[in-house]
Amino acid sequence: MTMSEQQNVNNILIDISNPLKIKNKVFNNLQQDSIINKKISDFYNIITQSIIDITKTSISKENFVILGDDHISESSILRAKSNEIATGINQNNGKPSNIEYEYKTIILDVSKIIDKSYKPLYDLKLVCDQIRQDGNKFILELVIKPSKKDIDSYGKDNEVEKIMLVNIVENLHNFSINPDIWIIENKDSDFISTASAMIHLDDRKNSILLRKSSSDADKIDANNEIFGKSYGINGLVISDYIYEKILRDYINEKISKKDFINTISIDILNAYKNLENANKIYELL
């Protein structure tokens, strides 16, 4: 099973492939790695169980992909697969996998594509072709962080980011690198609209997901405005590390497991409804 990629369908990619970030944010160095890994694995199982429960009551399985790291999240990925929920793996680690994933993801740091040095794009093209030959779907995430030199050359941060975005998408198209799904950072509506316009050049039908930066409910209205003004955005990426605070509370026994699961489930449901409402807003504009 794969996630629905139609532009009128709202999708959620759950990213549980960042155990190192979780370690750094939540745990101290006094604990053994094996203990920390077990706690993070349990955390990932709770997220996965929340999704499974949601698919039984509210949202179709086809609207989800769970992205894992092929190590600490392995049990969660296997549980998702047994419940017919699509799964993906981050290819940046370059490790072989014994699990058959439907999606393979590459994170591309745009700042590493130096002027006139296209070797990273050649390398990416080879990886992209191999993913397709293996029968998998290809997800590409663009990370755009301008250097001081870039800002000095082009001016304001947001203008530099848009220039870098336009350049990299154009180069990717020129190299015939055409992901099934793009992931971009949730920035302002102008940036997102520029990304959507570039990615959908020549009537390309790719899906675009925005990486959700927070689980705070008070940001929903702002997100609605951004999504509602941006054509072609049909999904969100929800990362494990946005639940840093509630995970810490759970580990410190400030909240129960039931409350922990409910909080995550409600956040995912709110994210889905937020996206759904935003797309309705777009239709009215």
What is the value of pTM for the model shown?
Answer: 0.86
The CA angle 131-134-138, to the nearest 5 degrees, is 30
CATH number of 11-284: 3.20.20.70
Show me where the domains of the chain are located: 11-284
- Residue 146 and residue 154: Cα distance in Å, rounded? 10
Q: Strand runs (DSSP E) across the chain, as ranges?
A: 11-15, 64-68, 86-90, 103-109, 137-143, 181-185, 207-212, 233-239
Burial class (CB in 10 A: 0-12, 13-18, 19+), 65: buried
Extract the residue ranges of the chain whose pLDDT is less than 50: 7-8, 116, 217-218, 220-221, 224-225, 228-229, 285
**What's the pLDDT score for residue 73?**
92
**What's the pLDDT score for residue 78?**
94
**What's the pLDDT score for residue 18?**
92
**What's the pLDDT score for residue 220?**
44
| Neighbouring-strand partners of residue 34 | none
Tokens read off for 35: 């203990």
**What's the pLDDT score for residue 229?**
47
**What's the pLDDT score for residue 202?**
81
**CB distance 247 to 43 below 8 Å:** yes
Tokens read off for 214: 């927070």
Nearest to 11 by CA among 283, 280, 275: 275
